[in-house]
Amino acid sequence: TQLLEQSPQFLSIQEGENLTVYCNSSSVFSSLQWYRQEPGEGPVLLVTVVTGGEVKKLKRLTFQFGDARKDSSLHITAAQPGDTGLYLCAGGDSGNTPLVFGKGTRLSVIA
């Protein structure tokens, strides 16, 4: 069974601080997605990475896929209250198998 472990589970920081959240597995994935979910809403896709070592940037968010395609990280620079939410990573296998989701990191950015 493929599992994705996210850490930390909870993170509370001040506005302007930097942070990194992690998504780790012992399994290899062909793709990895990051989603952000706000209270009362469904997750919103932020990025997909498919190549080992790939780095993608989305404004102040930097996503990296591990070289072995078993792990990923999300780094946020100068966090803002609008970054508050539940960050979920999800791993995809080749073919038509369902995504495997981590349990998420709940981020709170305090103004």
What is d(CA 15, CA 31) in angstroms, rounded to the nearest whole number? 31
Query: For other proteins, which is the closer residue by CB, 45 or 78?
Result: 45
Q: Are 101 and 84 in contact (CB under 8 A)?
A: no
**Comparing C-alpha atoms, which of 81, 86, 67 is closest to residue 13?**
81
Sign of the alpha-carbon torsion through 95, 97, 99, 100: negative
The contact mask relative to other proteins for 2-41 (x = CB under 8 A, - = no) is -----------------------------x-x-x----xx
The nearer residue to other proteins, 47 or 79, going by C-beta atoms, is 47
**Of residues 18 and 45, the one with the C-beta less far from other proteins:** 45
Query: Cα–Cα distance between 44 and 33 in angstroms, integer?
Result: 10
Number of amino acids touching other proteins (CB under 8 A): 22
* Helices and strands in the chain, H and E counts: 0, 11
80-99 residues in contact with other proteins (CB under 8 A) are 88, 90, 92, 95-99
Least distance to other proteins, CB of residue 103, Å: 4
Residue ranges binding other proteins (CB under 8 A): 31, 33, 35, 40-45, 48, 88, 90, 92, 95-99, 101-104
